[in-house]
Structures are given as C-alpha cells and as structure tokens.
Structure 1
Amino acid sequence: MTLQPDVQTAMLGLSSTSGPTPFERFVYPGAMADEIGLAVESPELALEAVGPDTGLVLAVGSTSAVLAAMFQAHGQEALRVHGTVRGPSAGGAVYAADELGATQARALVDAGGGFELVVPRSVGRFFAQTASARAAVGDEAPRTSMVTTFEPGVPWPLLLDLEPAGTCTVHVFDGESDRPLTARLIVRGVGDTRDPWFGPDYRASGAGPIADLRDGTAEIDLPAGTYRVQATHGPMYSIDEVQLTVRSGAGVEATLRPRRVIPGLGLLSSDLHVHARPSYDSPVQAEDRVLSLVAAGVEFAVPTEHNVVGDYESALSFTGQEASLRFVPGVEVTTFAPKLGHFGVFPYPVDQKVPPYRGTSLAALFAAVRTDPGRVLVVHHPFLGHGMGYFDRDPRVAPERGAFGGLPLGFDAIELLNGYETLDAASLERTLAAWFGHRILYGWAGYPRTLIRVQDTGVPDLATLDLKNVTTALRGGRAQATTGPVVEVSVAGASPGETVKVSGKTVPVHVVVRAAPWIEVTRLDVYVGGLLATSVPIEPVGLRVGPERGTDDEVFARSVRLVRDLELAAPTGPSSVVVVVRGEKKLEWVLPATALPPIAIANPVWLR
C-alpha cells in the first residue's frame, strides 16, 4: 500500500484471516512532504480503513520499518536499539515506552532471543513479554520482564530478562530510635545490571528507580543482578546503603538505618510551595504527595494549588501520616488576562472563595489577601518569565540597584529557591539580589525546603505544634532556605529575622555550617547591605553514604563543616547581614533527578 499526502483516511487497521493482529499506534506529526511506501507482502493481511483521523499509522508486527520511513520523510532522527531477551522469549516481543508508560514501538524477538527496533530519542523505557501462556511454559498468563531504562542509539546491547524475578524485602528503621521509618528507597543497578523502573514519575509507590515506603517496609521484585539499595529521609539524615545480589526465583533481605545527623536546632523542616491534583500542571495525587513529603523528612507543608485551595486532611488520614506531617491550607493565585505573576497565599480557608485571579489588578489581589492580617503573601518564581514572574512585568526592575520600577511591594516574601530558577545560576543570583532586604521562602517538593525556627533548641514536637506560631515565625523572617546545608548565624547576638543596634566600627558575626555526610559545602559568603563583604572557603570532606555509627554527640559533631567568627566593617546606616553557604557537587550524584547544587541562605539579621 502507499500513503499519499492528501489521503484523509490515514488511520489504517491491519487484520489477518486468523483474527485481529495486535498493533501499536503512533502519532505522525503533520502532512508528509513526499509519499511513504509501506509494503504489505503477506497474503493473509487485508487493508481496512477504520477512521477519518489523519496523522495516525497502525503497524503490524515489528514497527521499525514504519517508524524509520516516517522519521526519514521528516528528516528526524531514528535511533536503533538492539539486544537480547533472556528466558522463554519464543514468539515474544520487546516494547518501548515513553516516560508516562505509553507504548511507542515494538519488535518481535527472534528464535535466538535477539531483537532490534527503531525509536525516537524521547523513548527510553523497555520491557519484553512472552507471546502467550504456551510460550511461557506452564504459566497461566504471559510473562513480562521488569521495565528497564536505556538510552537509544548507544552501541552496546540492551539485555531484558524474562526469567523469574527475585524478591528483595527491605526494612527501613530510624537509626536512632530503631522504629520503622517512612523513607524513600533508591535502587540502582551495579555494573551490567540496569536500574529498575518502578513506575511513572508521579507515583510515590514507584517512580523510576525510587519508591516511598509508608511503613518502612517493601517487598519488590527485581531481575537477577547486583543492586545498590539506599534509604533517605531528607537532608537532616544520613543515607544508608547496602549492596546485594538478586538471584532468579530467590529471595534476599536488606535492612537500612538512616540516622539524624543534624541536631534539631529548633528548626521545622517545611515545604511551602507544593502541587498535586487538582492543580492543572500536576498529575500527582494528594496521597502520593503527602507520602513523598513525609519520606523526604518534611514536617510542615502548604498545598498551594493553582486557584484552588489545597487541603491535605483526607490524604493524611488515608495514608496514616497525621502524626508525621502538619499543614495549613493554601492557594497559588495564578493570574491571567492580564498575567501579573503567581502568588502563594496561606493559611487560606477551604470554604472561602480564592482571591481574584482573572481580569484583576494587583491592588485588588493584595487587598483580598489582607482581609486576614495573619496570612502570608509570597511572590513565587519572581523572574521565571512567560507571564509567571512578577518582577518580569516591569523593565525598570533592577534589583541589583534596588530598583523595583512601579511594582507594589506589599508582599511578605520572595521565593528564592525552587525547581526552576535554582537550576539556573544566573537566575538564582538575580533573584538573590531582588531578595536582599526581604523575607525568604522557597518552593519545590522537599528540595529545596524552608527551615523555620519555631523554638530555640531541639526537634519540634509536631503533636503540640502551634500553626499560628509557624506563620508568625515566617512573617518575622525566622527561617532559612536550603537544598541541604544548615547554617547557624548570630550577628552581635541577634538571629535571622531579628534587629540589633550597631555600636562601634565593626560587627561581630558567628557562623556554624553543618551538612549531612552526603552533601558538599565549599564556600561561605557574607553580605552586608546586599554587597559581598567576605568569602570564606570551606575545607572539603569525602562525601559518603552508609551506616552512621557513634553516639548522638559524635554524629552531630561530624556534621559541622565550619565554625567561624568574623569582624565586619559596620555600615553607616540601617542595613542587613545575610549568610549564604554553597557547594558545587549537585545532589543528583546520590538522589536521582535532583540536579540542585547545595546551597543554604539565611534570612537577614537587621542592623540599625
């Protein structure tokens, strides 16, 4: 058959005399510049037009020839993947899927277990399946291999395993209390063993090579191979690790004990800009979001859904995490027609109409928020662009010169660290310049996070935590933002958010920098009045994961990377001191898909 560019019935169905033939569907982008010839040589196959939709092609058997022709016609890259299926693969097939798990290509497995297929670069997950129960010898259903991540186009082969999986039973305990710990499990292949893929990236029960364990226990099936299994509970904890070998049809057990390595310091680990459904841009269910927050060691969160008040009450009840996470309802006011920016507002009643977001003005929006003086108003991602950055609206905004054009400054906080701008060093520095002299928050699920100082020492008791005190501490600037490091700051005896009177020609600054053993810190920067006053290098240490041994005092002492007393020139008028700690090695060296640099930024200590 031949497909012509002007043919409207481009959705083709192929069937054989023995019944329908399995097929896959592919989206074909746009009209073809030239005709594409698709040869059908088997006399058993008949052509049947099944619909008027253009741009869709159905292929029987292996799809490589069809895809190669389609890509070639458009000058697009067609990448080949070849390999071997181990196990009862006779008559089976290999499938290629996108990041959401949708099948995009397939190839039949030959008698020797070999296969070859053509895929676009966006496809990187593969699995094999037997053709029928008969091919799987004794099985009542087709056997399917584990999903394996693989980069198309590389010269080495892909190995898929249809042999019976092994079972790995994992137990995670708190290394200090020895109680079961809600934690994130990370499983990576060692050597020739591929990383497992537990599911799409929006499921806490399994996303890529990670899974969040609600009660600290999991039983997972893995193909035979060697794996590195890790458990993490956020940057205040160590990451424990074991390496184990899984054998086909056999079981193996692993016990992990991540341990708190940063003392409490009165800090509440918080995430103040979080999305799940019903936000239009998040496929994450609220129950998955809650579990992911607890597994990451977040103790307080604000569900800031787009123009909908977020509420975690039912999700906490369903997951049984009421004692592990506190929250207040919130909303991200996402303005349009005109686009004025995005604004986090909390706490916000779940039964109250959200602030105006369509066809509104800044004055009306701010006035609606301020009907309750206890609310916190945050400027989210201030320089993100595309109508989402508040400071992008006025070309006169130049925060490095203290110029904000005609924009109202009636907000409480500027979001400094988030999942977008934190990845861009230039954008981060610009946002930092905008923030000097203002309060700070952040927003990305657990990394980064805000550490709110709700008491002088110790770990806050969530059962007795006064949520009004939390928002009061935020409005008072008693917080720091971090992707991992923790900084203690005292300026002439005053802490972040406090004001101190300067007398004399110098200002004493005391700084302690802490970090978990898997987080790098390399530099301390101190700013006075928004200008860099001094920079101090921090001696690097060997980063590590694994068991953390010793007494609490010994463990906490090892977390200290720098203790420094500084004498800075006193400013001539009202000013501020801001401490920033930085590292270079991104967290993704151990945390999958977390390409964030280590950084901690304490709120200003005000000088007068």
Structure 2
Amino acid sequence: MALRRLRPLLPVLLLLGGGLVLRCGEPPQPPPAEIDLTAPLGPGEVRAGVVTDRAALIGGPKADGVLGDIKMYNAEAAFIIEGVRRASGYRYWGGNVADADVIHDGPGNDRFGETIFSWNLRIFRPETVEILNDGTNGEAAHVRFTGRIEPFAFADDLIRALIDTPDIDLKVTYDYVLEPDSNVLELAITLENDGTEPAEVAHPFILNSQGDGAHPYVPGVGFRDLQASGVLPYLGSVGAGPSYAFISRDDAFTTLYGYKAVTAYSQTPFTLEAGQSTRFEYDFVVTDRGAAGLDEAYWRALGVEVAGRLQVELGLPPTAAPESAWIAVRDGTGGVASILPYRQGGIEIALDPGDYTVEAYAPGHAPAPPVAVTVPDGGVGLAQPALEAAAEIHLQVKDPDGSPVPARVTFLPQEGTPLPYAPEDVRFGWDVAPASAYAYVTDPEGDSVRLPAGTYRAVATRGFSYTIDETTVSVAPGETATLTFTLEKVVDTTGWVSSDFHIHAIRSPDSYVPYAIRARQAATEDLDAPILTEHVVAAGLKPTAEALGLGQTVVGVPGQEVTTFAYGHFNAFPLVWDPEKPNWGAVFEHGQTPQELFHAIRTQHDGDVVLQINHPRGAPASGYFTYVGLDAERDAVEKEREWTLDFDTIEVLNGNCRKTGGNGETLRDWIGLTNHGHKKTLASGSDTHTESRVVGTPRNWIRLDKSALRGNHFDLVPPVQSRQLFVSCGPFVEFTAKDGTGLGGRTQVDEDGTVTFHVRVQAPEWMTVTTLHLWENGEPIQTVDLSGAEGVVRFDGTLSASPEADAWYVVEVVGEGDMYPVTTSGPPYAITNPIEVDADGDGAWTPPALQ
C-alpha cells in the first residue's frame, strides 16, 4: 500500500484560470478524452478525473463537492477532492478531501467533515493539480496538487495569540493515490524548504472537524472524552452509515483540544534545512463497518495480524430494521473495543483474544441484554444478543374541529419502563440522554413511533399558545396502539410572528441535528420563522420545510452565526443562500476588525440585514461585550478601536429566560445602552445544538404578517431593527400606549403629566403566571399580582406613570414552574422592548443618562 511514483500517462489537466497546465518538459498535447465519472466500476477498476457532470458528485448531508473538483473512485469507495479553488469549511483552500462514501445502492451519503493539516499555523494553498494517472490503464489512479503554505486565518483568530511560532515558507505537494478495490485513499504530503534559511516547523497541527452522522471516535474510549484522549492511533469518526479515519504511517496524533466534534492534534516538530524536503504518508479510510473497519485498516497499514475474531448474530424482531441496529463491544475493563452498524446475516470483528461484552441497540428499542463472550487465540467467539420487539404507537393530533395539528408527543416512562437510548460512550451524537422519548407529528394522517414495551405518560404539546393533552398508555412487545390527542389554540397571536434567531443543526461542527428534524420541530413548537445560524455556512430551512409539506407552516429564514473565535459571535439574517459559493455564500469571519466584519455582513447582499450580538457576556472569544470591556452604565469600553455600535439586536436571553449569569449581565448592558440612547433591540435565541433542546425557547414575537414574511424574508428587517418585538418563554404580552403607540415607538404624556399604557397578558391555563412589572428606565415601578388570575387572559387593563423627564418603559411578566415537557428552559417569563415617552412635550426624546 505504499505510495508509488507513477509515470505520467496523461497530460496534466488543470483548472487554473481556465487554462491547460502542462508538466515541465512535456510538449503540448491535446486535452485527454473526458472520462465518464458516473459509470459504475467493477473489480480491478479505478478512475480519476475532473467532475464536469453533477451526477458524478457523491452527494449527501455534508457534501461540498462542486463542478471542477476531482473525483477518485473504484468499486469500493468514492472520494471528492476539492480543486484549485476557495473551499468550504474552515480549510479555506482546495486540495483537501471534501466528500467520501462507500459504493452502495441509493443516493450518496457523505458524512465527512474536514481534516486540515497545518504547519506553524499555515495551511496548504494549491496552485496546480495534475492527474498523473486516470486509472484507465488498470493501475492505481494518481492525482497531484502542488502549491505553497500561507497563513491560516481560522487558526490565527483562534490560537495565534497563544503560540509563538516561527514564520516559514514551504513548497508543498499533495499526492493522492487510489488502488483498485481499495477503500483507502493514500495521501503523501511532501514539504520542501526551497528557501535559503532553515525552516523550523515547531507546530505541526491537524484540525479535525467531524460529526453530522459520523461522530468522533477514540479506540478504547468511544464517543466521549476527546479532550482527554491523549495519543491516538488514528483520527476516527464512526456512524451508522460511512465511517472515516486518517491514519498516519509516520507519527501518532497527540490530542491538544477537543470540543464536541472539533479536535486539534499535534505531531512531532521538525526542522528542514535549506534545500531539504520531507514526506509524510497518510491513509484516508472510508468504510461502512464502523470502528471495526477503521481498526482493520489501521492494522493493515502497520502490517499487524490480529489473532482473534468475534462473530455477532443479532436476534432482530420484525420491528427493527437490520440497517438501523448497531453493535458495541466492550473489553474486560469496560472500555469500548468497537462500535459498528449491524448487517443482515451477522458481522465479524477482528479482536485481540480475551473476554468481551457485546451490546446491541436499535432506534425505538430497549437495549439488548449484554452478552459475555470469549474470543480465543486464533479462533472465533460467537455472541448472539437479542433485541426485544418494540411497540408501535400511531399518533394523531387534531383541533376541536377535527383538523390535524402539528404537535410534539413526549413519552415519559413509568414503572421502570426502559428508554431507547444507548449509553453516552456508544451513542451516536452528543445529545444528553433525555428522561423521555418524543415524536413529531406533522403528517396530516398522523405519524408513528416505536418504543420499548412498558407504560408511558404521553403528553401532546404545541408550544406556548396551545392547550396540552395527555394520557397514559401501556404497550406490550410487538403491540400496535393508536393515540389521539386534541389541542386547541387558545392564545390569540394575530398580527405577530414567532421566531427563534439562533438555531444550529447538521452544518455546525458542534451540532448533528438534521434539517428535517429542525423543520419538524419548528412546526410542532408553533414557531413561525426558525432562523438557521450555522457556524460555518449560510443556510435556511425553507427547502427542507417545503419538501416535508410544511412550507405554509414554517418560514425558514436563512442566516449564519458569524463566529470569529477572537472577539465574538454574531448572527446575520436574512442572508442569501447560494449553494454555488463556498460555504453557501456565508460571510467570511476571520482576519478582520469588528468594523470590517460588520460591514461585510451588511454587504453580503443588496439590502440590509439584522446584525445581532450573540451571548455578549462570557469568554472574550465568543462574547463581544466582554472582549471590548463594555461598561454600559458609563457608556464606555476598554478597547475603543474595536468597538462599534453598528449592530441591531442584542441576544439578552440566550438558551432560557433566567436573568442569571451571562443573561443577567447582558440585560444590565442593554439597560445601560438604552439609557444612553443606543436604541438596540432586546432579543433572544435558543442557541440549540441538540435535538432534545427543541427550538423556540426563548422566542421573539415580532409585529409582522406571516404571509408577507413568507413572500419576502427581508420584511423581517424593519420591525426587528425598530424594536417591534418582545421576548417570551411562554406568556404572550401586548403593550401599547393609550394613543396606540406600540413597541419601539414614542408617545407623550397627557396634560396632567401622566402616561397610560394598555397591557394584555395571555397564557394557556397549564402555565403559571404570577407577576407583572412595569419598568421605567430599567427599574420596576409598579407590580401587579397575577397569581389569582384565571383563564387565558391573565391581565387586560391599564397602567399609568408620571415621568419627571423623558423616559422609556417596558413590561415584564414572571411565572413559576418548569413547564416540562413543553420546555426544559425554566419558568414562564416575558419582557418587551421599550416605548419611549416624551415627558416635556418638546417633540424630542432625551435619553435618561444624558439628562
């Protein structure tokens, strides 16, 4: 499997400025015949070529390949390597593996994230790519990229200040070789010092960003403790579909940092003298056999023979599809020896001789009882775990008139009923195992869910404007049952649109939730406008919602969390989604001052956007207010050159509506800025990264017509910028002046110096609302006890104040109780944006801090 230098059989094909690039010393030749990269290959065949037909691309949830990229494939596996271009992800430049999948029937299923090699925080920028052998001669396909290293903006933002690393300039060559009938793409990286001084490579780092259906995996550890995993044999990610690994033939990988699916590793430092070069060899593996396939590729690369075999034959009930089940093997210490998808007819795993425990899992089923097995030296151990049949429950949710209602049904196990979840170290994804199971009912004919046999409290909900309905159900293994729920919308939200400004999903490296789940969550949470804010790409839920038949219910506005890793995270929406551009048209977030970055956000497309400061308090790298040292009460900052007020909204409530920690500090910031006349909209976002933390809590209620927003996403901008919204974890609050002035507007006092407001608070009867506060300039001045209020309308009346000078007012509504299972984000709460009051009648408004 060693890389070979293959004689060039074709002229060099390259897409650099649209011209044909030739190898030095070769006479000009006509372009080679175009290769059909869509044709299936048989044993002994392999191909490499430039993709000119979209049908040749791999496709899948994480696919990044475009026309002009390089495809290498055989009968076992296919790989897309980005051409000489600006790339997607954090890697910035092409020449890297973008997509990979095993050859199988059906649509492509690329789940690969990215692996980026760097040297002293500099990365490879290819200048040419050559197809040295396209494989038509029966020998291995060979593709070569050549270029140099240049600064890595992502790493410069993230860790440059922490690392004193020498400045170097190296020539780089990437050689990719794919043999026929192999699932291993060989990569040789040659670094050449063509300068006149020694080049000290003090920090050879590798960034590995995975997830999205193939989750970072550490042999012996499983899916957790990546930061503490130490020295690794390979960089692996394992999923129910394809699994991946980078194997080094020269050096181990030492873990520097790990968070969710993003990990950084180091290799041994070295020095290149002037004129000297060095070569590193890696194997990039794709397999459908999980960790077992990765381990076998690793052992082959080392020339190691494993002496034992484990045969697993899983007893599958009719309720479990074979392709949905997976097997986990633990060694005698409880460590994870392997994780892999199950296949009909049984699977075989290469293992060292010893004692093991075999576990089996399938969605919707109780975990199989563990089976102990001994793997003999030179022999085969047999384990036969069995899954119990699941029950199938058909769910229908209707309104009182019998029309279907999208809803979430939460199943809370009773009396020792097991949940269908694997332990954390062998569970795909990073979701904390919830204390319940849930189903999204979005099909007008109803949806079905499979659950372990037992007894459940089943609760149907649809956000904060509907009643709830519940029942208790007991089901036996293999039983089929039907549950019908009735939900009624009791809160009148006419003229308002609900929106979550901060949602992550499969394209964020620290999230794994598919877009289909996010769209169904929005429908079942009664969230009108979910805004996707992925870390790396510009994306929206509109195409997914429409494909699911939810286009009239869910208005998927595209956005992005512009993530600097240096001075803060910033939401931008609506953006223009463009799949033909790197990162789908996302704003590039690195190597710019805040002023430059905000300008880039505002000019991503024609027309304005909403620019939001996310979680402003916290670590300086993610909290802009902390980074600049904002003292809002004094209207001052420590880093004046990096401070700009060119933003619209502040995410005052992040993840919940509790006024503690960063939320409480940010609320005080917003009050201080407002008192100084900086009219920034108080806003919120769930900042959800997992499925169990559903979208829409907190949510923003915006004074806007939903049909108008569906027709033009940019209609969202004016009301948000003008503060025509309130934030809620439950209660629905309407707050106007006597003359009809609404949120964000300005009114005047009456002749007697008083101002009168009308306040209406609604909440479904299951929600406990206790108190209403009227604030003046950030301080409560009146309190109304709502604890005895009954029905949906908890308050419908007037409140008055007599300001001595120009002032601003908001309404805060507080409740108690955790509202589970509607939300896990705490008690009811709502707060409005301000109404300004001109107290002296001069037609102007003077901020309180400037009076």
Range into which the TM-score falls when normalised by the shorter chain: 0.5 to 0.7
Aligned to 1:358: 590
**Is the counterpart of residue 293 in structure 1 residue 522 in structure 2?**
yes
Q: Deviations over 1:16-66 (max 9, x none)?
A: xxxxxxxx962296799xxxxxxxxxxxxxxxxxx99899xxxxxxxxxxx
Q: Distance between the aligned counterparts of 1:363 and 1:31, measured in 2?
A: 40
Residue pair 2:365, 2:451 contacting (<8 A) in 1 also? no
Aligned to 1:48: none
Equivalent residue runs for 1:396-407 within 5 Å? 397-404=630-637, 406=640, 407=643
Q: Distance between the aligned counterparts of 2:573 and 2:346, measured in 1?
A: 55
CA RMSD of superposed structures (Å): 4.1
SS at match of 2:534: strand
Residue pair 2:363, 2:420 contacting (<8 A) in 1 also? no
Residue pair 1:305, 1:331 contacting (<8 A) in 2 also? yes
Match of 2:810 among 578, 595, 604: 578
Q: Deviations over 1:164-205 (max 9, x none)?
A: 4433222122x14422222212111123334454986789xx
Match of 2:664 among 429, 443, 460: 429
Q: Deviations over 1:108-132 (max 9, x none)?
A: xxxxxxxxx9799xxxxxxxxxx99
One-letter identity of the residue aligned with 1:440: L
**Is the counterpart of residue 601 in structure 1 residue 826 in structure 2?**
no
Residue pair 1:345, 1:376 contacting (<8 A) in 2 also? yes
Q: Distance between the aligned counterparts of 2:809 and 2:755, measured in 1?
A: 10
Aligned to 1:83: none
SS at match of 2:622: coil
**Is the counterpart of residue 376 in structure 1 residue 624 in structure 2?**
no
SS at match of 2:501: strand
CA 1:242–1:463: 2 relative to 1, 3 Å: farther
Q: Distance between the aligned counterparts of 2:441 and 2:363, measured in 1?
A: 23
Q: Deviations over 1:348-372 (max 9, x none)?
A: 2223754441110112122223335
CA 1:497–1:387: 2 relative to 1, 3 Å: same
Equivalent residue runs for 1:155-194 within 5 Å? 164-173=389-398, 175-194=399-418
Aligned to 1:491: 737
Identity of aligned residues (%): 28
**Is the counterpart of residue 344 in structure 1 residue 571 in structure 2?**
yes
Residue pair 1:274, 1:303 contacting (<8 A) in 2 also? yes
Q: Distance between the aligned counterparts of 2:327 and 2:831, measured in 1?
A: 41
CA 1:53–1:374: 2 relative to 1, 3 Å: closer
Aligned to 2:696: 446
Match of 1:210 among 432, 438, 458: 438
One-letter identity of the residue aligned with 2:821: V
Q: Distance between the aligned counterparts of 1:294 and 1:202, measured in 2?
A: 24
Aligned to 2:627: 393
SS at match of 1:306: coil
Residue pair 1:270, 1:300 contacting (<8 A) in 2 also? yes
Q: Distance between the aligned counterparts of 2:767 and 2:386, measured in 1?
A: 36
CA 1:404–1:598: 2 relative to 1, 3 Å: farther
Residue pair 1:235, 1:516 contacting (<8 A) in 2 also? yes
CA 1:402–1:522: 2 relative to 1, 3 Å: farther
Deviation at 1:214, TM superposition (A): 2.9
Q: Distance between the aligned counterparts of 1:597 and 1:212, measured in 2?
A: 23
One-letter identity of the residue aligned with 1:451: W
Deviation at 1:517, TM superposition (A): 2.5
SS at match of 1:583: strand
Residue pair 1:326, 1:462 contacting (<8 A) in 2 also? no
Q: Distance between the aligned counterparts of 2:525 and 2:363, measured in 1?
A: 30
CA 1:214–1:423: 2 relative to 1, 3 Å: same
Residue pair 2:491, 2:763 contacting (<8 A) in 1 also? yes
Deviation at 1:492, TM superposition (A): 3.3
CA 1:401–1:145: 2 relative to 1, 3 Å: closer
Q: Distance between the aligned counterparts of 2:799 and 2:754, measured in 1?
A: 9
Q: Distance between the aligned counterparts of 2:542 and 2:769, measured in 1?
A: 37
CA 1:385–1:537: 2 relative to 1, 3 Å: farther
CA 1:565–1:238: 2 relative to 1, 3 Å: same
Equivalent residue runs for 1:524-603 within 5 Å? 524-539=772-787, 558-573=791-806, 575-587=807-819, 589-591=820-822, 594-603=824-833
Aligned to 1:473: 719
Q: Distance between the aligned counterparts of 2:530 and 2:574, measured in 1?
A: 11
Deviation at 1:482, TM superposition (A): 0.9
One-letter identity of the residue aligned with 1:393: Y
Deviation at 1:464, TM superposition (A): 6.3
CA 1:562–1:426: 2 relative to 1, 3 Å: farther
Q: Distance between the aligned counterparts of 2:569 and 2:588, measured in 1?
A: 12
Q: Distance between the aligned counterparts of 1:306 and 1:145, measured in 2?
A: 29
Match of 1:408 among 626, 644, 655: 644
Q: Distance between the aligned counterparts of 1:357 and 1:193, measured in 2?
A: 48
Q: Distance between the aligned counterparts of 2:501 and 2:776, measured in 1?
A: 27
Deviation at 1:424, TM superposition (A): 6.2
SS at match of 1:434: helix
Q: Which stretches in structure 1 are left out of the alignment for 5+ residues?
A: 1-23, 33-50, 56-88, 91-99, 108-116, 121-130, 134-141, 150-159, 542-556
500-509 vs 261-270, which moves further: 500-509
Q: Distance between the aligned counterparts of 2:331 and 2:455, measured in 1?
A: 27
Q: Distance between the aligned counterparts of 2:450 and 2:331, measured in 1?
A: 24
Deviation at 1:434, TM superposition (A): 1.7
What is the TM-score normalised by the length of structure 1? 0.67
Computing the radius of gyration over CA atoms, which structure comes out larger, 1 or 2? 2
Aligned to 2:174: none
Equivalent residue runs for 1:215-230 within 5 Å? 215=443, 217-230=446-459
RCO higher in 1 or 2 (8 Å CA, sep ≥ 6)?
1
Q: Distance between the aligned counterparts of 1:145 and 1:464, measured in 2?
A: 35
CA 1:30–1:297: 2 relative to 1, 3 Å: closer
CA 1:373–1:166: 2 relative to 1, 3 Å: closer
Residue pair 1:301, 1:327 contacting (<8 A) in 2 also? yes
Residue pair 1:478, 1:496 contacting (<8 A) in 2 also? yes
One-letter identity of the residue aligned with 2:714: K
One-letter identity of the residue aligned with 1:607: V
Q: Deviations over 1:504-545 (max 9, x none)?
A: 43221222221122322222222111222223332157xxxx
One-letter identity of the residue aligned with 2:569: H
Residue pair 1:323, 1:463 contacting (<8 A) in 2 also? no
One-letter identity of the residue aligned with 1:443: G
Residue pair 1:524, 1:535 contacting (<8 A) in 2 also? yes
Deviation at 1:101, TM superposition (A): 8.6
**Is the counterpart of residue 327 in structure 1 residue 327 in structure 2?**
no
SS at match of 1:305: coil
Deviation at 1:496, TM superposition (A): 0.8
Deviation at 1:479, TM superposition (A): 0.8
Deviation at 1:102, TM superposition (A): 8.2
Deviation at 1:497, TM superposition (A): 1.4
Deviation at 1:256, TM superposition (A): 0.8
Q: Distance between the aligned counterparts of 1:305 and 1:236, measured in 2?
A: 28
SS at match of 2:769: coil
Residue pair 2:768, 2:817 contacting (<8 A) in 1 also? yes
306-315 vs 267-276, which moves further: 306-315
Q: Deviations over 1:287-317 (max 9, x none)?
A: 2221221121111122222242113343223
